[in-house]
Amino acid sequence: MPILLLVVGMPFLLGMTQHIIQRLNGRMNTGWLASGSMSVSFVLLLTIAYQPVIVGQGALTYTLEWLPDYGLNLSFYLDSLSLLFGLIITGVGTVVFLYSGYYFDETDERNRFIHLLLLFTSAMLWLIFSNNLITLFIAWELTSIISFLLIGFKGNKYASAREGATRALVVTGGGGLALLVGLLALGSAGGSYEFSDLLALDLTEHAWYIPLTLLLLLGAFTKSAQFPFHFWLPGAMDAPTPASAFLHSATMVKAGVYLLARLHPVLGDTLFWNNALMIVGLTTMLFSAVVAVRQPDLKGLLAFTTTSKLGALVALLGVPGGYGVKAALIGILAHALYKSALFLSVGNIDHATGTRLVNKLGGLWKNMPITGVVVIVSSLSMAGLPPLLGFVAKETLLEAFVYDPLLLAIVFISAALTATAGYILIWDVFFAKATEEVHFHPLHKPLEVGLLVLALATVILALFVTQLLIPLFTPLIPVEFKLVLFPGFNNVFFLSVAAITTGLALFFLRNLWRRVSEFSFNTISVYDRLIATSEWVADQVLKTQNGLLRHYLIVIISVVMAILLYGGLVQDIFSMPSVELGTFTLPDLLDVMLLVLAVGAAYASVRVRHHLNAALALAIFGYAIGGVFFVEPAPDVALVMILVETLATVVLIIMIGRISAKQRAEAMEALDRNFNNRAGAFASIRDITIAVITGVSMFAFALIALVNRDNRDSIAVWHLDNAESAVGVTDVVSAILTDFRGTDTLIEIAVFATATLGLLALLTINREAGGEPEDPIEEVTPAKISIFTPMIQVVASLVFPLTLIISAVHILYGANAPGDGFTAGIVSGLGIALYYVVFGYDYVNERFTWLRPVRFVVFGLALALINAVIPILSGGSFMGLVEYAPGLDFANLKFNTTLVFEIAIAVTVFGGVSLIMETIAHPTQVPFPTDARRTSTSEMPVIVQQPESEFEQA
């Protein structure tokens, strides 16, 4: 069963590593690689498909537990149905990927396309093999999103591609929401979120049956483009043709049908189910077939025949007694084969001639005979001629509806019209004389040859339909059935022949039909009106926004305070025991002095006008708080606090220097203006009021927390008692950081690293682009400062090695003394910061060529992660304790995971600090495009509304 993990995961891994492969070998055509992996998956699935465990009614499940308590597992379900889909996806995928490798003229487009298509394949395989309802939903949404990206593939050029993509996403995404609720309801109703449990149940009598089924049907109908949601599928034809072939005919649009087939045993075959599926399915089928024939664009024609077929499949699953399931399964297979072949052929036609319009094409047979053969075989299969798989599909389809004359009539007309569409594809495109000269340029051979595989499959599967398909279908079909290529001259056969001939008759009348079927009914306008309405509502809501950041802050803070006060702060104050003043010791006196200093400095930082003075006041505030930590006594914290405060002050001052003096002066003026007018006075009073309320509330909150705190009854005591025995560390803070709450620390250094990388990204975008900022700053960045005497420079260059030694000591002996990986990282970071401040950016860059902060960050994080995983390998838990060298007794050191973790923390923090320094000490300011202030939304260039072809003609 891990085979399934491979089958599902391989396309994803290939997709994610694709750019690496490209980088290693820029000219490599990854289409071959992807196609190869698909064929391997296909063979793997084929080896499972006919094993007795599948054939004999059974299904295999395979579960990787993730959150078993919440029923969230990565579990796979493998039965004939998922295998049928899996074989279609991997089989058609093999051809489509090969094709995609040669379809695009631009290498970049090709790579981006194959990347997306690989990700889609993974999501689609995950969807059909998913045993869990929630993971099924996730995969379902993933396919919708990737479909959106593929439809909008040329969105930078064509407005229609953007519209089509958005429409598809809104419809399928909206249906996805209904599906989610439906799945959750199904899970609760059935008492399990696993198909393997649910399929044994019959929920048709459940109280929630109707709403639950309705929601699920809504999800399935939108995904499978059923009337009235069908319009997104023809709109999706702006996707590159291989995507249309793969997503929008063979696989993704059948996800809805898959879901219906999957749930048929649980929810199906009730009056409600059958009626809903029949009405929607048959409407879609007839409507689309009528519209299909008059499409001027070949892709449009194929899109509407696809929705027609999807309608047929849905209706078949609604035939009472399960008599339609056989035809549905055959139909899924036959349609996937002929329709993907037809789409790819249309791609070839488009590629070779530069147009897809029926009335411009003609006489292509002499130029592209291979594609011609494929189109003939596939179109005839679509029309339902023997000995092709489509014939079997059409026969079974008619057979399923033979019990009711009205339904049969609808199906008959649709089938005849589909046949007409097939004849149009063959005759008008390949044999009729073109009205004007058709431009033609030759194709890569793989584009044509690959399609022969699909055409061949259509023939072979039909010839051996009994042998190949009966074992696969037997577990899925609830009734006795026969499946042969040629069932004899019975009623159904004559019906089938009649449909084919009627189709031919309609073909001769096609021009008349095009005029007759011209009616102006479309659901897109309804959709557009809905969207316009929602945009209008959004506009009204937007009017409540004034865009002033401070006002948003005021609202946020006020709401938080209101919640705090409403949430019981007031009652707590009054029910609080009286505050005991207690004894007053010497450390307390120190504390009070430091706190007074801190509050004074904080007030000063608020009060003084000049930014640099405020920054210095803030530094004093930080040191005072550091002192408080020291008195507590919390030496580790005090150490880090004082070091970080130093660093923060350096960063703040450099940052202030990067903002131009003019802007700073303006900002300071803005501080003063407060009381000059009424509005200003009002604003000041409001701000002060909010600040006072916050302060008082937090005072009350702190007081309550302090008075009611647990004494000696908390987990802290447990940490104190167990630090030495469990971790072998006497410094309890270190023990908590590296072991008891080690995962927290791991995440926190990751957060720190991310913040520093974010700073790098922020301040270096456009750095290479050059250009002048519109308001150039005067240079106060360290690069230009020359107040530093040689004396200071000597000291600075001595300090850095010293900081490294201190760091090493902190790391090695942090277990039993104040200091740890964090202090080590910050101390050495301070050394680097001093270098930047004293010598400037260029000198440091030249001198320390080894200093690549990003690499340090990455290395530190990787080391921490690997170190955390190693204990699992030796049977322990994530972040467990392992002695790397138990026998080693050197300088009182323990060489274990804790030590390595400390090193990793130090390296990450050092890297992060260096990264900050490198970024902000860079002498050039980031220039922004000068019109950035005026263009709020990037404007897309609109060139052509409706592309007639995907290829630009030379």
- In the region spanning residues 574 to 633, those forming contacts with another protein, defined by CB under 8 A, are 579-582, 584, 587-588, 591-592, 595, 598-599, 602-603, 605-606, 611, 614-615, 618, 621-622, 625, 628-629, 632-633
Q: Which of 38, 476, 925, 947 binds another protein (CB under 8 A)?
A: 925
Q: Which of 752, 836, 910, 951 binds another protein (CB under 8 A)?
A: 752
Minimum gap (Å) between residue 778 Cβ and another protein: 14
CA angle 412, 418, 422 (to 5 degrees): 140
Minimum gap (Å) between residue 844 Cβ and another protein: 18
Q: Which string of DSSP letters, residue by residue, matches 336-380?
A: HHHHHHHHHHHHHHHHHHS--BGGG---GGGT-HHHHHHHHHHHH
Alpha-carbon gap, residue 494 to 488, rounded angstroms: 10
Minimum gap (Å) between residue 707 Cβ and another protein: 6
Minimum gap (Å) between residue 173 Cβ and another protein: 26
Q: Which of 687, 779, 883, 948 binds another protein (CB under 8 A)?
A: 687
On whether the CB atoms of residues 194 and 132 are closer than 8 A, the answer is: yes
Q: Which of 762, 795, 865, 943 binds another protein (CB under 8 A)?
A: 762
Q: Considering the rule CB under 8 A, would residue 637 count as an interface residue with another protein? A: yes
Residue ranges in 528-567 that form contacts with another protein under rule CB under 8 A: 542, 545-550, 553-554, 557
Alpha-carbon gap, residue 304 to 292, rounded angstroms: 5
> Measured from the CB atom, is 167 or 611 closer to another protein?
611
Alpha-carbon gap, residue 859 to 862, rounded angstroms: 5
Minimum gap (Å) between residue 636 Cβ and another protein: 6
Both tokens of 591, joined, read: 């504390």
On whether the CB atoms of residues 177 and 235 are closer than 8 A, the answer is: no
> Measured from the CB atom, is 481 or 813 closer to another protein?
813
Residue ranges in 432-491 that form contacts with another protein under rule CB under 8 A: none
Q: Which string of DSSP letters, residue by residue, matches 172-228?
A: HHHHHHHHHHHHHHHHHHHT-SBHHHHTT---TTSTTHHHHHHHHHHHHHHHTT-TT
Residue ranges in 265-324 that form contacts with another protein under rule CB under 8 A: none
> Measured from the CB atom, is 51 or 689 closer to another protein?
689
Query: In a 3-state reduction of DSSP, which class is residue 12?
Result: helix
Span near another protein by CB under 8 A; candidates 302-310, 354-362, 720-728, 796-804: 720-728
Q: Is 728 left (phi over 0), alpha (psi -120 to 50) or beta?
A: left
Q: Which of 210, 524, 563, 696 binds another protein (CB under 8 A)?
A: 696
Q: Which of 208, 928, 948, 949 binds another protein (CB under 8 A)?
A: 928
Both tokens of 41, joined, read: 């998956």
Minimum gap (Å) between residue 528 Cβ and another protein: 23
Q: Which string of DSSP letters, residue by residue, matches 528-552?
A: HHHHHHHHHHHHHHHTT----HHHH
Residue ranges in 196-215 that form contacts with another protein under rule CB under 8 A: none
Q: Which of 532, 562, 563, 707 binds another protein (CB under 8 A)?
A: 707
Task: Give the contact letters, 57-96, x = binds to another protein (CB under 8 A), - = no.
Answer: ----------------------------------------
Q: How many residues bind another protein (CB under 8 A)?
A: 133
> Measured from the CB atom, is 532 or 655 closer to another protein?
655
Q: What are phi and psi of 73, to 5 degrees?
A: -135, 155
Q: Which of 916, 918, 922, 947 binds another protein (CB under 8 A)?
A: 916
Q: Considering the rule CB under 8 A, would residue 769 count as an interface residue with another protein? A: no
Span near another protein by CB under 8 A; candidates 49-57, 268-276, 795-803, 920-928: 920-928
Q: Which of 13, 516, 720, 942 binds another protein (CB under 8 A)?
A: 720
Both tokens of 726, joined, read: 């469990």
> Measured from the CB atom, is 101 or 825 closer to another protein?
825
> Measured from the CB atom, is 402 or 573 closer to another protein?
573
Task: Give the contact letters, 847-886, x = binds to another protein (CB under 8 A), - = no.
Answer: ----------------------------------------
Q: How far is CA 609 from CA 345, 445, 612, 677, 751, in A?
A: 73, 75, 9, 20, 33
Burial of 794 per CB tally in 10 Å (0-12, 13-18, 19+): exposed
Minimum gap (Å) between residue 641 Cβ and another protein: 6
Name the residue among 318, 75, 281 with its Cα closest to residue 198. 75
Alpha-carbon gap, residue 158 to 336, rounded angstroms: 28
Q: Which of 713, 768, 889, 952 binds another protein (CB under 8 A)?
A: 713
Alpha-carbon gap, residue 88 to 483, rounded angstroms: 20
Unique residue bearing structure tokens 């002095």: 593
Q: Considering the rule CB under 8 A, would residue 688 count as an interface residue with another protein? A: yes
On whether the CB atoms of residues 312 and 263 are closer than 8 A, the answer is: no
Q: Considering the rule CB under 8 A, would residue 659 count as an interface residue with another protein? A: yes
Both tokens of 605, joined, read: 């930082």
Alpha-carbon gap, residue 730 to 721, rounded angstroms: 10
Q: Considering the rule CB under 8 A, would residue 779 count as an interface residue with another protein? A: no
Minimum gap (Å) between residue 930 Cβ and another protein: 10
Q: Considering the rule CB under 8 A, would residue 834 count as an interface residue with another protein? A: no
Minimum gap (Å) between residue 868 Cβ and another protein: 16
CA pseudo-torsion sign 875, 880, 884, 888:
negative
Q: Considering the rule CB under 8 A, would residue 694 count as an interface residue with another protein? A: yes
Contacts made by residues 365-371, CB under 8 angstroms, sequence distance 24+:
365/430, 365/431, 367/440, 368/443, 368/448, 370/448, 370/449, 370/451, 370/452, 371/345, 371/443, 371/448, 371/451
Span near another protein by CB under 8 A; candidates 55-63, 400-408, 429-437, 703-711: 703-711
Minimum gap (Å) between residue 359 Cβ and another protein: 45
Q: Which of 271, 671, 791, 891 binds another protein (CB under 8 A)?
A: 671
Side chain identity at 282, as an amino acid letter?
L
Minimum gap (Å) between residue 739 Cβ and another protein: 10
Q: Considering the rule CB under 8 A, would residue 661 count as an interface residue with another protein? A: no
Q: Considering the rule CB under 8 A, would residue 679 count as an interface residue with another protein? A: no
The count of other CB atoms within 10 Å of the CB of residue 102 is: 20
